[in-house]
Chain A
């Protein structure tokens, strides 16, 4: 894999009236060519500032921004503008030019590229087809829906054939259905044009849907980073678990246990166990095996399957009933079969 964007020890501080705000603290990231890379965090975590450090809309005071082999902090303003043409960016509020039509908006970044009218026309029509809005080319942004506006913004960002598409909360102003269609479009672009994508979002559902890798940000730092499936299957930090729980009902179980709900009340010889497994090691056979071999009864009180990047991650909340020693042995057998085991309540 060729590394396209390499951020090294990025630090960005804003001096405000109320003192310094450390938006990004010593963040290092590597984004490979062709990847869809998610950066997730709650608002104020510093993710928008971090993505602006990639194209230097914000200049970090420390660190290196290596893009396509060049250290962007060491080149001139003029060279930087040329590098920026290799990076498309889309925004939460689309930022289209109100006085220009869809066609003119898409042609906008091409105007200063010394392309002649025919070339521009050809490129714009190509992009209109890609975003499926050919018949709206003479409409003004005020006549479009939110999803259509974001499509136009994507076409505009792609006009200069960039190497990377930076998406700053690109779906946060859209309804769930439109979000899906924009995500599918981004996925398609990533596949067909081999375009690297950096997605800033606060929605785990977005990351789950299309990202290959994810970095979780909290208080200006990247607290967890990795392959999307393994982050989902084995989240380490509380903030990551929090985000994952927003996409399913697993968080509810913790609340029920906390509140000592009748549903999760257990006897002395019972334990509430969370089992997590990935494709390949289905737990169903395991459960019947446990019952047979160790004389432990398993009753499933909650089950969930996440599909992350087309690979399922299953979670079962079960009540194990049986002799203490036997439960222990049963759990060990689960672990030996690559099932992640967590005792939630004894």
Chain B
């Protein structure tokens, strides 16, 4: 068995400690940047919904400005965005490479995408529910919490799932700017040294991760839907 593994992926076995370290870094990136991006996305998405025309905290200025900012970051290709953000990462994290260098570009690259996903999710709430809550004497913040967020949990979970999966792809792109994780592992040990087994195995890990996230997402969405 071991012989077989060594035979089909000799370089992965060779660099096994780096490989494991890279998986760990990728998971950490997704966990930390993911959590922050999802929270930011949820906040911005909620603001977009409640400030839109005719909604409970209608505010044309905030709605337009925030919408434009989100679109701007969404429009920027991630690879260019990551390069542009290196000085900011240096300023905040003290470095723009390695694991620490990955957080800022991942958060800024994903939060706007997540914001639009959350906006979509919250928009599914029927206007009538909001009206009914207002008629019961609920204030805007209670309505956000108890109606908009609480009632769209299945849709929020679905949006989170899509966001996390797109983030898995972005973590690999960050290999180009020298951040950690499987991306840089692939470039340094795989692509640059023509070790295709490293690329294939890394790809398999990322695909598995995607399937896992999607599976958990689907399960939770189903569980919370009535």
Contacts and interface: CB of A to CB of B under 8 A. Distances in A.
Interface string A63-96: 0000000000000011001111101110101010
Given A89-B132, A97-B147, A99-B151, A81 B226 contact: no
B90 interface: no
Question: What range describes how many residues of B lie at the interface?
Answer: 20 to 34
A346 interface: no
B142 interface: yes
Interface stretch (B133-141, B189-197, B204-212): B133-141
A142 interface: yes
Question: What range describes how many residues of A lie at the interface?
Answer: 20 to 34
Given A57-B134, A93-B126, 10 more contacts: A55-B135, A81-B137, A84-B137, A88-B136, A98-B226, A99-B150, A109-B136, A112-B137, A140-B226, A141-B226
A105 B88 CA distance: 48
Interface of B: 126, 128-129, 131-132, 134-139, 142, 146-147, 150-151, 153-154, 224-226
A112 B138 contact: yes
A108 interface: yes
Contacts of A78: 139
A213 B138 CA distance: 31
- Please name the 5 residue pairs, one residue from A and one from B, whose CB atoms are nearest each other, closest first: A84-B137, A140-B226, A95-B132, A95-B128, A89-B135
Nearest to A82: B137
Nearest to A93: B128
A221 B224 CA distance: 46
B132 A98 contact: no
Contacts, number: 61
Contacts of B129: 95, 97
Contact of A57 (B135, B142, B150, B151): B135
B224 A99 contact: yes
B82 to A, nearest CB: 38
A109 B138 CA distance: 8
Interface string A97-132: 111000000001101100000000000000000000
Given A95-B126, A95-B128, A95-B129, A84 B226 contact: no
B139 to A, nearest CB: 6
A160 interface: yes
Contacts of B154: 99
Given A99-B150, A99-B153, A142 B226 contact: yes
Nearest to A110: B136
B135 A112 contact: no
Greatest chain B CB density within 10 A among A55, A82, A89, A95 is at A95
B60 to A, nearest CB: 14
Interface in A126-152: 140-142
A93 B137 CA distance: 20
A77 B135 CA distance: 13
B142 A95 contact: no
B140 to A, nearest CB: 9
Given A81-B137, A82-B137, A97-B147, A112 B142 contact: yes
A142 B151 CA distance: 14
